[in-house]
């Protein structure tokens, strides 16, 4: 309960059209299909007014002992009434004892700090419009090939090692919806990147690799086969060489969000890094 006129309840599939409308009002790029996928892999909370109108939504995802929170939206005319705080408090409570991660806009950061989140880094959103068969900058000499179904279990293992928790169900969905490339070492995947449809075009992520050379090679392989149009990659700010390569390729940084943690996040295994997010909502 957030007030006499607004109540909170668990999100249901029937709330997806309202969530999509809110995302569009906030100029977020999510398609109806993206909203459906996000909900299918997680759970949500809805703020509903006495009239039945949806005032806000928020989603959460659980990956073993950790979780992420994202797509927290409040209708513009309902902001400033505590709805966002109430949604966040419910999402945190429903996550139990899990360590939590989210990617915060500048507007949301003060609220998240009050709720116990701490800033741990930055993510740059690189985005641009590529032509068909684009001319790309030089790429490091790395052996990259298309992933095969037999590689999928290994890709989930690599993702878990870099993310800090098993996301097999998420990876299964992303690999079913998209196409992946792998760094090949003696026939075995040592890194990967996934290309799939999202928002206004395509997105590359997650990207997991031992170094930036491999990450650049993976992104280049995916970009070469992406259809013409908008291409997006969300990368950690410290990946400066990858950022430079993306900028020269026509994918400059257009936005920055702050990585925030609540609780103790598991460390990634040595030798692997996340160079690209699956999505800002999922990390």
Can the peptide bond before residue 206 be classed as cis, meaning omega within 30 degrees of 0? yes
Residue 269: pLDDT band by 50, 70, 90 thresholds? confident
Secondary structure letter of residue 269 according to DSSP? P
143-199: pLDDT as tens digits: 999 999 999 999 999 999 999 999 999 999 999 999 999 999 999 999 999 999 999
* pLDDT for the residue numbered 2: 52
Mean predicted lDDT score pLDDT of the chain:
95
Say if CB 200 and CB 29 are below 8 A apart: yes
DSSP 273: E
Q: How many helices (H) and strands (E) does the chain have?
A: 8, 13
Burial class (CB within 10 angstroms; exposed 0-12, middle 13-18, buried 19+) of 50: exposed
Q: Per residue in 48-99, pLDDT tens?
A: 998 889 999 999 999 999 999 999 999 999 988 899 999 999 999 999 999 9
The residues that bridge with 182 in the sheet, in sequence order, are: 145, 192
* Tally of CA atoms within 13 A in the half-sphere of 127 that contains its CB: 17
Q: DSSP strand E in 84-220: where?
A: 99-104, 118-130, 144-146, 179-185, 188-198, 201-209
Under the banding of pLDDT at 50, 70 and 90, the label for residue 1 is very low
The pTM of this model reads 0.94
State residue 3's pLDDT score.
54
């Amino acid at each position: 309960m957030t007030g006499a006129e607004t109540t909170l309840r668990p999100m249901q599939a029937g709330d997806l059209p309202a969530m999509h409308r809110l995302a569009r009002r906030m100029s977020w790029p999510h398609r109806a299909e993206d909203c459906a996928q996000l909900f299918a892999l997680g759970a949500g909370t809805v703020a509903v007014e006495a009239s039945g109108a949806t005032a806000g939504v928020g989603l959460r995802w659980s990956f073993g002992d950790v979780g992420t929170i994202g797509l927290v939206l409040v209708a513009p005319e309902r902001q400033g009434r505590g709805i966002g705080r109430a949604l966040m408090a419910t999402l945190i409570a429903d996550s139990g004892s899990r360590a939590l991660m989210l990617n915060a806009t500048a507007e949301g950061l003060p609220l998240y700090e009050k709720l116990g989140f701490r800033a741990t880094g930055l993510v740059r959103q690189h985005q641009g419009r590529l032509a068909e068969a684009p001319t790309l900058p030089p790429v490091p000499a790395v052996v990259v090939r298309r992933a095969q179904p037999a590689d999928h279990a290994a890709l989930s293992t690599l993702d878990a090692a870099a993310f800090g928790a098993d996301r097999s169900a998420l990876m299964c969905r992303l690999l079913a919806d998209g196409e992946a490339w792998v760094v090949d070492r003696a026939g075995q995947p040592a890194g990967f990147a996934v290309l799939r449809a999202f928002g206004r075009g395509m997105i590359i992520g997650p990207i997991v690799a031992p170094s930036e050379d491999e990450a650049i090679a993976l992104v280049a392989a995916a970009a070469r086969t992406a259809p013409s149009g908008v291409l997006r990659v969300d990368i950690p700010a410290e990946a400066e060489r990858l950022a430079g390569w993306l900028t020269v390729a026509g994918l400059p940084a257009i936005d920055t969000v702050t990585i925030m943690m609540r609780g103790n996040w598991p460390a990634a295994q040595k030798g692997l890094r996340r160079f690209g997010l699956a999505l800002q909502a999922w990390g």
